[in-house]
Amino acid sequence: MLDLAILGLLFEQEMHGYEIRRRLRDELGLFANISFGSLYPALSRLERAGAVTVTGTGGTAAPIPATGSLGGERAGMRARRSGAALGTKRSRKVYRITDTGRARFEQLLEGEEAAGSDDARSFGLRLAFARHLAPSARLALLERRRAQLTRRLATDLVRASGERLDVYTRSLVEHSTEATEHDIAWLDRLIDAERLKQAAARAEGAASAGPDETSTSSTATPSTELGEPHVGDAVSSTSPSGSS
């Protein structure tokens, strides 16, 4: 998952490690506890595999203010040299994705989860980068997640019908069931909107192909705008049931 997230961020723009960590934590929301001890080994591994390359270093030392005193400016120069020697002004590597990395990102993004898996974090991460998927693959991603949740719902309903559950355990199972039903309804809306958008795109393509084919597309369903769902929405909507 970490490789997919890093390559997905670098797919859009080059950045240094600090920025990658910030976006993993603050924007994707799936790696709240990621440390540099986990991030930099992953970047080094991707660099050795040829998936990313270092394009240079970012960051410059702050200018020494003019004090009007020769002794003061000399002291500033000594402080800068001392800071550089101690590594307090460490430069930052700037990482860029390569063609190999782009191919690897697409492979990871389009890859199917293991049979029977039910990983809300994996789905949320893929949904965050779903705009890079082909329309058919994007629809397949949503439908696979819906099938996973449908299986979970069936299991929860069986559990809720058990006679040996005490009131608190039953309440917990019912809460999980309601959360799963909410997630399925949310996915149904995304799937319907995605199908409408793809049907509209096909109709538009048929219309632009030539006047002889426009009659077959006159009854096509109007386009519905599908907003880009933030990964936080995917995670938060599955969080009650995603912990099972």
Please state which CATH class domain 2-105 belongs to.
Answer: mainly alpha
**C-alpha closest to that of 238 among 109, 129, 125, 124:** 124
* Beta bridge mates, 56: 94
- pTM attached to this predicted model: 0.66
d(CA 57, CA 144): 42
Residue 178's pLDDT band, with cuts at 50, 70 and 90, is: very high
Helix axes 2-12, 120-128, angle to 10 degrees: 10
- Taking residues 208-219, report their average pLDDT: 57
d(CA 183, CA 148): 11
pLDDT tens string 216-230:
444 444 444 444 444
- Name the phi and psi angles at 126, rounded to 5: -65, -35
